[in-house]
Chain A
Amino acid sequence: MSWKLFWLLVEASRLTIILSAVSISLGFVLASLVCAAVMSGNRAARAAGRLFVSFFRGTPLLVQLLLIYYLLPQIGLNVPSEVAAIVGMSLCTAAYQAEILRGGFVSVPRGLIEAANMCGFSPAATFRRIRLPIAVQLTIPALTSEAIMMLKSSSLVSVVGVIELTRMAQDLAASTYRPLELYAAAGFVYLVINIVVAGLGLGLEKRMSWGRL
């Protein structure tokens, strides 16, 4: 395979990385809100949070992407397909990340919160200084896995017309009649990206490891 073909794949992977990074970040912000809603004392907020999670976790990302792609113009929003892709991916990963975060908060040992309580911490201070940092540390491995899952799932956005890495490989395979080489090369590019992501996650985990609880 020529360098030129390979370079086209690398170029296309830029979009894969950008779409995934933006969706994972937006998804994290949204997930924090959903997690807060699910854990809140407000019944309506809890119900809304649970509904969100069950819908976006319970339907395939492919279906969600198609729904959003056809729904947005219907409600008068003519957005580029990249935006539709980001919306779909963000909503989907938010549901998973919200559950990961909730698991982290639930796993913070109760005694640590009671110790803060005995030291006079307000609930807000306890959240900010004790529960949040510990929950984040506990969830970094799972959040890293979710980021890798999203990077791979981003190949689905070709259905709404975004030419990312997988779609580019597909197009090139069709025009060059060399599917084997192109798909192998695309797989290799995914692998390299994900090894970097996994390394970042591991580094973050190390930096935040104050030992076992």
Chain B
Amino acid sequence: MTEKPAIKVEKLVKRFGANTVLSGIDLVVPRGQVTCLIGPSGSGKSTLLRCIAFLEEANEGLIEINGEPLGFTSGEYGERNRLPAAQIQKVRSHIGMVFQQFNLWPHMTALGNVAEALVTVRGMPRKAAEERAMAQLSNVGLSARAGHYPSELSGGQQQRVAIARALALDPDIMLFDEPTSSLDPELTGEVLNVMRELAQSGMTMLVVTHEIGFAASVGSKIVFLDHGEKIVEGRPDEVFGKPRHERIDQFLDTYLDRGAATLL
């Protein structure tokens, strides 16, 4: 299993009605590294991430998590067979996800949010779960806010609680969908720092982001998506360095001010 990549996506196709959003994506996410997914709005980044999380079911293609098929296997004649729900849940339990909108449960405190699945899903006693949740919160620097409800926390604090909630379940792969996009600029730093530490601890991460600086400095691999296709893939210096792919150039021009783009 050590030989297998953390995530392997093969010829993934996703359509919404007549709209083909992903047209045959191949992707390998190596273990213990940070892979960053970038691309213009509507290029299918979230959809790809959601397919890997099995929040969305792809129409064609296969996904493997730690070498195990997610959702479907290919049969003898190349047909897709749906796996039993318990098997799907088992494979998904390796994955933690952080959303752009945090999605904290508003009726539970920060501590409750982190402890909830440990009790409800893992069957831990409430007290043990809360101890573990407290440790997770202190890892993201929020032990002092444990008793606060999400509405009493800043966006950056909420996102850090959301990260703690995902990590409490001990995933070995973390997916991030634009984790800082709904934050005020002065709050993105604290979330990116937590993510940086997580990367240093060896977590396998797949991050959709518009933070090109973060992608360039923390990412081992950059994948550029446009119109549902993988256009460029490589190390940050290969992707952002000169000579640059024309589409990357256009992308950087529209997403960054020109000054920042030339700094890369």
Interface residues of A (CB under 8 A from B): 109, 111-112, 114-122, 125, 129-130, 133-134, 137, 208, 210-213
Contact = CB atoms under 8 A, between A and B. Distances in A.
B152 A211 contact: yes
Interface magnitude class on chain B? 20 to 34
Contact of B99 (A115, A120, A211): A115
Given A134-B107, A208-B107, A121 B149 contact: no
Given A115-B103, A210-B150, 7 more contacts: A116-B105, A118-B55, A118-B96, A118-B97, A121-B120, A125-B120, A129-B116
Interface of B: 53, 55, 89, 92-93, 95-97, 99, 101, 103-108, 116-117, 120-122, 149-152, 162, 165-166, 169
Contacts of A134: 105-107
A129 B120 contact: yes
A137 to B, nearest CB: 7
Contacts of A109: 101, 103
A115 B105 contact: yes
A210 B121 contact: no
A211 B103 contact: no
Contacts of A211: 106, 149-152
Nearest to B108: A210
B120 A114 contact: no
A129 B126 CA distance: 14
B150 A114 contact: no
A111 B99 contact: yes
Contact of A121 (B97, B108, B121, B152): B121
